[in-house]
């Protein structure tokens, strides 16, 4: 089983739609969680950290479910510019290093 | 503020040649990471350093790969000899601490013919 698993997609949605991505992780000792965004032929960039209580940043909402070991990202009112690959990132609870998922690709269509 | 700087941005070489990738982390960051990204395997951690000391090199594919960090502002990843299967994008990232947010450089696109 992969340490961090994501549905690769692609998710094709129209502008204005709400889309949600899920990610599962295997190490129950993991303490830090992030969503990164990677545009085509660019480097990954931090989108948002994920806190236990859930957190929101504009149109983006991240949630963590420790019991089920999954993380979610919700994007409301999607824009064309949201088209990218979204990487779920979890720290290795034993070593602290970050483990990246394979990413979920989102395509927002006009 | 300057982000993570990598050079070269693109490298095309022939099988058997030595390749050296360079990275300058963000000033003040204590951790530096080297990743490799391919379509098939995604983003893989090769090695990381804390305070210039290699902490985990379990991701380095084989002895052909080596990495150094002689000081806090410079690191190299060397492949010798290179092989076509080494073709990938190599990213360097840095952070204040190894469990915190990592900031990535623009990457080096390596093609080994």
d(CA B76, CA A11): 37
d(CA A10, CA A98): 24
Q: What percent of chain A has pLDDT over 70?
A: 98
Q: Does B25 touch chain A (CB under 8 A)?
A: no
Q: Beta-carbon neighbour count of residue B104 at 10 Å?
A: 22
For residue range B73-93, list pLDDT tens digits in order. 999 999 999 999 999 999 999
Q: Do B104 and A102 touch (CB under 8 A)?
A: no
**pLDDT at A36 (0 to 100):** 96
Output the six-digit token pair for A67. 């019991």
| Residue of B67, A69, A53 whose CA lies nearest to A61 | A53
d(CA A56, CA A33): 14
d(CA A79, CA B5): 30
Of A43, A89, A96, which to mutate for an interface test with B (greatest number of B Cβ within 10 Å)? A43
| Residue of B15, B47, B17, B44 whose CA lies nearest to B32 | B47
Count of A-B CB contacts under 8 Å: 41
Q: Beta-carbon neighbour count of residue B99 at 10 Å?
A: 17
Q: Do B98 and A96 touch (CB under 8 A)?
A: yes
**pLDDT at A94 (0 to 100):** 72
**pLDDT at A96 (0 to 100):** 67
Q: Do B104 and A103 touch (CB under 8 A)?
A: no
C-alpha A76: how far from chain center: 14
Cβ atoms of B48 and B32 closer than 8 Å: yes
Chain A residues closer than 8 Å to B29 by CB: none
Mean pLDDT taken over chain B: 94
Residue of chain B whose Cα is closest to the Cα of A43: B106
For residue range A53-101, list pLDDT tens digits in order. 889 999 999 999 999 999 999 999 999 999 999 999 998 877 768 889 9
């Amino acid at each position: 089983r992969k340490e961090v698993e994501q549905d690769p997609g692609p998710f094709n949605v129209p502008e204005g739609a709400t889309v949600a991505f899920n990610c599962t992780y295997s190490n129950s000792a993991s303490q830090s969680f992030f969503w990164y965004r990677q545009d085509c032929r660019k480097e990954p960039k931090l989108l948002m950290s994920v806190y236990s209580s859930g957190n929101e940043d504009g149109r983006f909402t991240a949630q963590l479910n420790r019991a089920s070991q999954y993380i979610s990202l919700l994007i409301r009112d999607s824009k064309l510019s949201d088209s990218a690959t979204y990487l779920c990132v979890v720290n290795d609870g034993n070593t602290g290093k970050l483990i990246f998922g394979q990413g979920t690709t989102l395509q927002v269509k006009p | 503020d300057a982000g993570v700087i990598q050079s070269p941005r693109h490298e095309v070489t022939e099988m058997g040649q030595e390749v050296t990738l360079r990275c300058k982390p963000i000033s003040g960051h204590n951790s530096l990471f080297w990743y490799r990204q391919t379509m098939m395997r995604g983003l893989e951690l090769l090695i990381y350093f804390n305070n210039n000391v290699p902490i985990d090199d379990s991701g380095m594919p084989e002895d052909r790969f080596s990495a150094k960090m002689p000081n806090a502002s410079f690191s190299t990843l060397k492949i010798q000899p290179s092989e076509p299967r080494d073709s990938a994008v190599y990213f360097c990232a840095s952070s204040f601490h190894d469990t915190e947010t990592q900031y990535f450089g623009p990457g080096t696109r390596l093609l080994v013919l």
